[in-house]
Amino acid sequence: MNELFVDLYAVPRMNETRLKNLLARFGSPERVFDAEPNQLAEVKGVDEELAAAVRSYQRSEETGRRLAAAQALGMRTVCYSDADFPGNLKQLAHMPPVLFVRGEIRPEDSTAAAVVGTRLPSHYGRQVAEKLGRELAQHGVTVVSGLARGVDTFAHKGALEGGGRTLAVLGCGIDVHYPPENRRLYDAISAQGAVISEFSLGVEPLAMNFPKRNRVVSGLSQVVVAVEAGEKSGVLNTVAWATDQGRAVFAVPGNITSQQSLGINRLLSEGAKPVLSVDDILRELGVAKRAQALAKVEVAVEEKPVMEFLTAEPAHVDEICEGLGIPMAGLLSVLMQLEIKGLVRQLPGKYFVREI
């Protein structure tokens, strides 16, 4: 990690626009710190006060501790002028000047789809996000999301399960684990892709950070896929960035009676492309579908009525029993066999869903 990028961000009143202008003028953080105050003040957005702050900057003990911890975890910085800065971001007028990265960004990550959605998805939304993440990854598409609770989490998990790559873009410093329950997922993504932040070390997940995070999520991607979103969801902000950046926008059709689908269905009415399967996204990306050698799962005669009854929405075992008129003991045996075959999933409280 180039520690001087962290130092520059620690200078009072420094922001990404001023830093980008300084780097454009001087080429590196080392040369910025070596410049004379009058040279610094010649840069757009840099007044005498900021120039003096750059020249007098002294690293705090807290910054030193954070840097040492980040170095130990293999975190690094990637400047927009570096060869491995993501190509999709370089196209943007509002690209961040520096990324903080844990993991590896590769050239093939330019073939990427963002999968985003509400933090409070339905079971159907969770299933769809995980399925799309897995199938995109299996076809060589990098899955981009924001590591938030809900749809983001399931999209990342699906990509990891599919054996492909995934990029997580944070709305906080890369050394800040948010949400805390995703710590293990953070580590897994770092090993099978990259965790990325434009925010300096120690920056907390403030509400104002997430719209900026969203522009990087869409900017890293060629298409943005919205899975579930309420009427005022932050997902709509990501979609707005995608439209501004010239990215294709897809939406997964939702239940018209569900609050989680209000924003999604509005997007569809306004021209977003519907996602009926991963094929729709692959065609947009120009990615050939890979042949998948899937073992055919045989469904026994007594299992077929249960499979036909179940959907992607949870059904209680009593509801299934009453609806099909099957004795409870026999039903539980059939459900167990379907679980073993991977066709049905049991949820807490004796609810069951059909795997999509």
State the pLDDT confidence band at 294, using cuts at 50, 70 and 90: very low
State the pLDDT confidence band at 91, using cuts at 50, 70 and 90: confident
Res 94: pLDDT: 86
Q: With beta carbons less than 8 A apart as the criterion, state whether 352 and 345 touch.
A: yes
Pick the closest to residue 242 from 216, 281, 203, 280 (CA basis): 216
Residue 295, pLDDT > 70, answer no
Name 131's Cβ contacts closer than 8 Å, sequence gap at least 6.
Answer: 158, 278, 356
Please state, as a whole number, how many other Cβ atoms lie within 10 Å of the Cβ of residue 300. 12
Alpha carbon distance 239, 242 (integer Å): 5
State the pLDDT confidence band at 26, using cuts at 50, 70 and 90: very high
Helix/strand number for the chain, H first, E second: 17, 12
Residue-wise pLDDT for 114-130, tens only, equals 999 999 999 999 999 99
Res 296: pLDDT: 65
Residue 293, pLDDT > 50, answer no
Pick the closest to residue 149 from 166, 131, 125 (CA basis): 125
Average pLDDT over residues 207-231: 96
Res 247: pLDDT: 97
Please state, as a whole number, how many other Cβ atoms lie within 10 Å of the Cβ of residue 182. 20
State the pLDDT confidence band at 312, using cuts at 50, 70 and 90: confident
Residue 68, pLDDT > 70, answer yes
Q: How far is CA 17 from CA 14, 58, 142, in A?
A: 8, 22, 29
Residue-wise pLDDT for 129-139, tens only, equals 999 999 999 99
Residue 29, pLDDT > 90, answer yes
Residue-wise pLDDT for 159-204, tens only, equals 999 999 999 999 999 999 999 999 999 999 999 999 999 999 999 9
Three-class SS of residue 142?
strand
Please give the domain boundaries of the chain with CATH numbers for all domains.
1-59 (1.10.150.20), 103-285 (3.40.50.450), 301-354 (1.10.10.10)
Name 255's Cβ contacts closer than 8 Å, sequence gap at least 6.
Answer: 122, 124, 261
Q: Which residue, chain included where needed, has tokens 């000047």?
A: 97
Q: Among 40-44, 248-252, 329-333, name the one with the lowest average pLDDT.
A: 329-333
| Residues forming a β-bridge with 273 | 250
Ordered alpha helix ranges (H), the chain: 3-10, 16-26, 29-34, 37-40, 48-56, 61-72, 87-90, 123-138, 151-161, 183-191, 209-219, 235-244, 262-269, 278-285, 304-309, 317-324, 328-340
Percent of the chain with pLDDT over 90: 85
Average pLDDT over residues 284-301: 77
